[in-house]
Chains A and B, each alone.
Chain A
Amino acid sequence: MASTREIRRRIRSVRNISQVTRAMEAVAASKMRRAQQQVMATRPYAEKALEVLSHIARLHGSGDAMDALITSRAEIKRVGIVLITADRGLAGGFNANVLRENAAFIKKQRDQGREVEVVVVGRKGRDWLLRYDPAIRAEFTNMPDTLATADIAPISRTVIDDFRSERFDEVHIIFTDFVNTLIQRPTVQQILPVVPAETTATMPPDYIFEPSVEAVLEQVLIGFTEVQILQAMYESIASEHSARMVAMRNATEAANELVDELTLTYNKARQEGITRELMDIIGGSIGLE
């Protein structure tokens, strides 16, 4: 049995850990709320862009051939992936889950004889790829928590350029969809070529286009790609913090349980010590008589 002093020291250290994890939980909770608000804030733009997009597509038949970004290729030989992970761990299964989804997706593409390259966001994803599957096209780490369009512009520029230059025939984004604080789902979504959704919104048919339909379409497509990447980033950030929040809450609870257990052990050890001393004293006084 450990000495009472050792137990006391352990209790103190476990209590410190629980304070740290409790603080991390609070930080993660506030960051998660912020990211959730940001997800909501992207919706007006995304909806509007999609509306204009499907309108133009309908105006000109299928919309094919008007811009490479909206045109499906007959043969898919090279696939690009935008993989979104976190820079930091201690977030439960967050990184592992999205990486598993990524590995499965890569395997599926390769089984069909396609080449795969990954544009990776986040240190965890980069480290994983470097170790197991170094098909990295580009890496982006240390992204700020409060993202703006300017922060993801290099990502969208990379995939749009690669798609136009036919380095990629298709681009998918793999991110963690925030369902609620308990459920975050790794998700694969195609971002290029853009698939215009069927729209129910009615727009007047007689638009003037300046300088041309093609120029407007190109801008809308670039904007739409950007907002999709941005949304995926916000979803991932919300998921990361929510996973961390839950992980930290569990850690805090485990630490508190441990403190209780240790306190019990400590009290037993202390009581034993007292009993032993009493026995000694009693034994001693008997011996004197």
Chain B
Amino acid sequence: MTIQVEIVTPSRQLYSGEVEMITMPGVEGEMGVLAGHAPLLTTLNIGELTLHNAAGEPEYIAVSGGVVEVLPDKVIVMARSAERAEEIDIARAEEALQRAEEALRTRPDEDRQPVEIAYRRSQLRLKVARRRRRTRPGVFVEDEG
């Protein structure tokens, strides 16, 4: 049994297709969803979303924040931002990580929260980028963002 997945961000629709299982960084911890799940609305953390397909290797997508709606036959991910592994420029992600590390060292404690979020995001983007796959099942909507 497969489940329909749609991933949308404010600037584009990133993914639309059928998968066996989807795992997401739910706010209460990592969460796997199969077809037939109870209706659920939950917020997302900064983390890695994985689409498991019957045939090929899994698809990795970096998401940061947002809301997920789970229905028995459908999952709609409304992410504030989302990028798939292939889209992430590793060199630029590394730079961003270094900048965030630098800022973490120099910032006074009270201003740290945005920097910590930036740090977590850039770590995540690097991690996801390094998962780059060679085959690509699933239908991707062309990137316009």
A→B interface (CB under 8 Å): 34, 37-38, 41-42, 44-46, 48-49, 52, 146-150, 203-204, 206-211, 215-216, 219-220, 222-223, 226-227, 230
Contact = CB atoms under 8 A, between A and B. Distances in A.
A208 to B, nearest CB: 5
B144 A209 contact: no
B81 A211 contact: no
Top 8 closest A-B pairs, CB basis? A210-B42, A227-B10, A45-B8, A41-B12, A208-B40, A204-B39, A44-B8, A219-B67
Given A206-B39, A209-B42, A210-B42, A223 B81 contact: no
Given A38-B144, A52-B69, A223-B78, A208 B11 contact: no
B76 to A, nearest CB: 6
Given A41-B13, A44-B13, A210-B28, A216 B6 contact: no
A42 B27 contact: no
B123 interface: no
Contact of A220 (B26, B40, B67, B81): B67
Interface in B2-39: 6, 8-13, 26-28, 38-39
A52 B68 CA distance: 10
B41 A210 contact: yes
Contact of B38 (A44, A48, A49, A208): A208
A215 B38 CA distance: 19
B66 interface: yes
Interface string B44-87: 10000000000000000000011101010000101011000000
A230 B39 contact: no
A207 B71 CA distance: 9
7 contacts: A41-B12, A41-B145, A208-B41, A210-B40, A211-B28, A216-B41, A216-B67
Contacts of A52: 41, 67, 69, 78
B66 A219 contact: yes
A148 B67 contact: no
Given A41-B12, A44-B6, A209-B41, 16 more contacts: A37-B144, A48-B8, A149-B9, A149-B11, A149-B80, A204-B71, A206-B39, A208-B39, A208-B40, A208-B41, A210-B42, A211-B28, A211-B43, A216-B67, A219-B67, A220-B67
B15 to A, nearest CB: 11
Interface in B92-145: 144-145
Nearest to A220: B67
Contacts of B28: 210-211
B8 A219 contact: no
B125 to A, nearest CB: 12
B41 A207 contact: yes
Contacts of B81: 148-150
B9 to A, nearest CB: 6
A211 B27 contact: yes
Contact of B27 (A150, A210, A227): A210
A215 B69 CA distance: 14
Given A150-B81, A219-B67, A42 B11 contact: yes
